[in-house]
């Protein structure tokens, strides 16, 4: 009966463990099917990059959950296997016990048989004593041995019963404990899996939200970082370029034996590099020449040395950059100059780039000589020479005789005069010096930039009354309030309407809206620069009433040139932050 009970307990334990394992497998299978359906659902529609990233994370989280459950099930299977092994060992022990018990039973049987034989002998010897009293018999010893054998048999039976009960109890306790432990492990695995699934799902949702937020922020951050990196790279490139070009010029001067020029160039290089590193924007920044222009450097050096101006190699390259960018068969656009004796005197007439460079170097040397330029940093005379290279050397003598030198205003005057004389709509480039000097490594350290041009044009109009030239130019048939027409006319004379630096406007409010839309607007407390446009609100009612051009800002005062100030072009001044100043448009020239 004990054996039967023990087998029943073991079988029950195995069934319980098998059920727990089967339950774990069913849970895993159900979750795997749910996961497959979810993954198939993700593939049925297109996702945005943000949603795809979040779903991908959720998918990975699911895989983590699967792995957790798998590990829990694996541990449960391991526990079951261990329990089965323990039960097997218990069975082996029971079998061993049965064998031992059988041996003891056999031994007991032999003892009983021996005891019976001993009893028979005792009886036989007693009978002998009765029949033969003369034979001495010692009956105490056999009786004692028989009693001991009987006691040993009784003790053996008790020991067998006790051992069987203890073994049965041990097997039952062990099996029950293992079953309980396994069930507890499975329950713990289920609970832990549920917690892990819940936690992972929540984490996935939070990460999904964070991914979306990050995805929205990334483009802006990337654009900002890209713009900053681009600006830094450009500034660094310009600085390095300035250093390289200055070094090249210095080497060229040393080769030519011009030690005085070397000293000048050393100073220029330092100043030019400082300007390149410390900033400036728009036309005030140095722009390196193109690779096409750089490719002509050996020829430029050759003819600069041949015609006695080796220290002006960088200026020659800047002229070529403005004229052609180093492209075409006439890169110096020298066909119409007086030194061309081989090809037609017409635009792009020269068909040999080297001959174009030779003629262009001679043309520039003649202009530098006529303008009495003393060094590569004699910027005012270099401007005069450059404008003469564009207009023709007749401009140089005219400007010196009438104005003592170059100014943007007299360049505009000379251009208009020549266009009228020749019947042309336009004559030359009135901003040629500024256009060339943006490519000259030393020019930005010694010249103000394109923003001065509109100021110079405006100053030439002081005293004009009635505004007819400005409102009629704009397209009106009769007089209108013409302050904005005046500003637009000045911008047009400088080419700023064509370049898009300043809009053409006749209503002050239109000008304000344009600058605000371009993010080129500053408030009334701003300290302006020359060339900024100043807008006024006389009644502080939000209505823009007037506009002018900032001439300069010094010692807390803003100086302006305004059209239609009392129906006249006048110079005016106001304290910085004056209540009548509505704000400023800040063009990028």
For the ranges 224-228, 285-289, 298-302, 434-438, the lowest mean pLDDT is seen at: 224-228
Residue pLDDT, tens place only, 167-205: 556 555 655 555 565 556 545 555 555 555 555 556 556
Q: Any idea what the CATH number is for the domain that residue 199 is in?
A: 1.20.1270
Confidence of residue 453 (pLDDT cuts 50, 70, 90): confident
Question: Does 38 fall in a domain?
Answer: yes
For the full predicted model, state whether its pTM sits above 0.95: no
Q: Are 80 and 13 in contact (CB under 8 A)?
A: no
Question: Does 201 fall in a domain?
Answer: yes
Rounded to the nearest integer, the mean pLDDT of the chain is: 74
Alpha-carbon distances of 206 from 43, 196, 213, 555, rounded to whole Å: 22, 15, 11, 58
Are residues 349 and 462 both part of a single domain?
A: no
For residue 236, is pLDDT > 50?
no
**Per-residue pLDDT at 223:** 47
Cβ neighbours for 480, distance < 8 A, ≥ 6 positions apart? 471, 506
Question: Does 232 fall in a domain?
Answer: no
Are residues 509 and 542 both part of a single domain?
A: yes
Rg from Cα positions in the chain: 55
Using the 3D structure, point to which of 449, 474, 504 is the last residue of a domain. 449
Are residues 300 and 351 both part of a single domain?
A: yes
**How many Cβ atoms from other residues are within 10 Å of residue 164's Cβ?**
18
Phi, psi of 555 (to 5 degrees): 50, 40
Tell me how many domains the chain contains.
Answer: 3
**To which residue do tokens 């600058």 refer?**
515
Are residues 377 and 473 both part of a single domain?
A: no
* CA distance linking residue 19 with residue 21, whole number of Å: 5
Are residues 201 and 57 both part of a single domain?
A: yes
Provide the 3-class DSSP secondary structure of residue 585: strand
Nearest to 147 by CA among 181, 111, 100: 111
Cβ neighbours for 571, distance < 8 A, ≥ 6 positions apart? 459, 462, 551, 559, 560, 561, 562
For residue 482, is pLDDT > 90?
yes
* CA distance linking residue 503 with residue 103, whole number of Å: 120
**How many Cβ atoms from other residues are within 10 Å of residue 38's Cβ?**
13
* CA distance linking residue 60 with residue 52, whole number of Å: 12
Question: Does 512 fall in a domain?
Answer: yes
Are residues 514 and 565 both part of a single domain?
A: yes
Confidence of residue 113 (pLDDT cuts 50, 70, 90): low
For residue 216, is pLDDT > 60?
no
Using the 3D structure, point to which of 394, 416, 449 is the last residue of a domain. 449
Are residues 59 and 160 both part of a single domain?
A: yes
Question: Does 248 fall in a domain?
Answer: no
Read off the pLDDT of each residue in 554-559 and give the average, rounded to a whole number: 95
Write out the DSSP string of 466-534.
Answer: S-HHHHHHHT-SS----HHHHHHHHHHHTTHHHHTSS---SSHHHHHHHHHHTT-EEETT----TT-EE
For the ranges 131-140, 297-306, 322-331, the lowest mean pLDDT is seen at: 131-140
Confidence of residue 318 (pLDDT cuts 50, 70, 90): very high
For the ranges 214-228, 336-350, 449-463, the lowest mean pLDDT is seen at: 214-228
- The DSSP element (H or E) to which 230 belongs, if any, is helix 140-256
* CA distance linking residue 498 with residue 492, whole number of Å: 7
Domain range for 159: 2-227
Are residues 365 and 494 both part of a single domain?
A: no
H-assigned helices in 376-440: 379-391, 394-403, 408-422, 432-437
For residue 119, is pLDDT > 60?
no
Residue pLDDT, tens place only, 386-408: 999 999 989 999 999 999 999 88
Which of the residue ranges 215-219, 439-443, 478-482 has the most confident prediction, judged by mean pLDDT? 478-482
Q: Any idea what the CATH number is for the domain that residue 574 is in?
A: 3.90.1720.10
Are residues 352 and 409 both part of a single domain?
A: yes
Question: Does 347 fall in a domain?
Answer: yes
Task: Give the neighbor-by-neighbor strand order of the sheet with 570-575.
Answer: 521-523, 581-585, 533-536, 546-554, 557-562, 570-575
Q: Any idea what the CATH number is for the domain that residue 292 is in?
A: 1.10.530.10
Write out the DSSP string of 35-86.
Answer: HHHHHHHHTTS---HHHHHHHHHHHHHHHHHHHHHHHHHHHHHHHHHHHHHH
The alpha carbon of residue 519 and the mean position of all alpha carbons in its chain are separated, in whole angstroms, by 24
Are residues 334 and 208 both part of a single domain?
A: no
Question: Does 246 fall in a domain?
Answer: no
Are residues 424 and 463 both part of a single domain?
A: no
For the ranges 75-84, 186-195, 227-236, 465-474, the lowest mean pLDDT is seen at: 227-236
Question: Does 250 fall in a domain?
Answer: no
Are residues 10 and 107 both part of a single domain?
A: yes
For the ranges 109-113, 358-362, 457-461, the lowest mean pLDDT is seen at: 109-113
State both tokens at 433.
Answer: 């010096």
**Per-residue pLDDT at 219:** 46
């Amino acid at each position: 009966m004990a054996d039967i009970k023990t087998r029943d307990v073991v079988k029950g334990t195995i069934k319980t463990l098998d059920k727990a394992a089967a339950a774990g497998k069913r849970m895993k299978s159900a979750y795997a099917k749910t996961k497959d359906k979810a993954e198939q659902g993700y593939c049925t529609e297109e996702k945005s990059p943000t949603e795809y990233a979040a779903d991908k994370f959720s998918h990975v989280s699911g895989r983590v959950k699967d792995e957790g459950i798998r590990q829990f099930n694996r541990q449960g299977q391991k526990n079951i296997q261990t329990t089965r092994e323990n039960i097997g060992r218990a069975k082996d022990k029971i079998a061993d016990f049965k064998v031992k018990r059988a041996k003891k039973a056999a031994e007991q049987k032999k003892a009983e048989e021996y005891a019976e034989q001993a009893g028979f002998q005792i009886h036989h010897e007693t009978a002998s004593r009765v029949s033969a009293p003369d034979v001495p018999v010692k009956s105490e010893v056999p009786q004692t041995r028989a009693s001991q054998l009987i006691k040993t048999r009784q003790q053996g039976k008790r020991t067998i019963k006790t051992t069987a009960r203890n073994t049965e109890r041990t097997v039952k306790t062990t099996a029950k404990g293992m079953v309980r432990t396994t069930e507890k492990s499975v329950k713990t695995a289920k609970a832990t899996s549920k917690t892990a699934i819940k936690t992972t799902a929540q984490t996935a949702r939070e990460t999904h939200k964070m991914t979306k937020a990050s995805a929205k922020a990334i483009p802006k951050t990337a654009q900002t970082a890209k713009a900053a990196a681009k600006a830094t790279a450009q500034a660094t490139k310009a600085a390095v370029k300035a250093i390289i070009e200055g070094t090249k010029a210095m080497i060229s001067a040393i080769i030519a034996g011009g030690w005085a020029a070397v000293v000048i160039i050393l100073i220029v290089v330092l100043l030019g590099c400082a300007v390149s590193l410390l900033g400036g924007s728009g036309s005030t920044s140095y722009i390196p020449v193109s690779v096409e222009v750089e490719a002509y450097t050996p020829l430029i050096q050759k003819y600069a040395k041949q015609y006695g101006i080796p220290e002006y190699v960088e200026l020659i390259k800047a002229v070529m950059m403005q004229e052609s960018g180093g492209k075409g068969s006439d890169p110096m656009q020298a066909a119409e100059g007086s030194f061309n004796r081989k090809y037609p005197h017409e635009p792009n007439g020269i068909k040999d780039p080297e001959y174009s460079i030779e003629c262009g170097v001679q043309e520039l040397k003649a202009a530098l000589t006529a303008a009495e330029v003393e060094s590569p940093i004699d910027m005012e005379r270099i401007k005069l020479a450059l404008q003469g290279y564009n207009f023709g050397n007749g401009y140089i003598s005219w400007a010196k005789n009438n104005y003592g030198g170059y100014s943007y205003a007299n360049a505009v005057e000379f251009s208009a005069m020549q266009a009228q004389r020749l019947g042309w709509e336009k004559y030359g480039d009135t901003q040629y010096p500024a256009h060339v000097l943006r490519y000259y490594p030393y020019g930005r350290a010694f010249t103000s930039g394109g923003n001065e041009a509109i100021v110079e044009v405006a100053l030439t109009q002081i005293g004009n009354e009635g505004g007819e030239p400005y409102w009629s130019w704009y397209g009106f048939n009769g007089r209108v309030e013409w302050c904005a027409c005046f500003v637009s006319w000045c911008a047009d004379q400088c080419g700023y309407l064509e370049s898009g630096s300043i809009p053409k406007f006749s209503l002050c409010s239109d000008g304000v809206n344009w600058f605000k839309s371009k993010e080129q607007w500053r408030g009334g407390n701003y300290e302006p620069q020359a060339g900024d446009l100043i807008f006024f609100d006389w009644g502080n009612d939000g209505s823009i009433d007037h506009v002018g051009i900032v001439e300069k800002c010094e010692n807390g005062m803003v100086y302006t040139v305004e059209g239609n100030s009392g129906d006249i072009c006048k110079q005016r001044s106001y304290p910085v932050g004056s209540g009548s100043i509505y704000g400023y448009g800040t063009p990028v020239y």
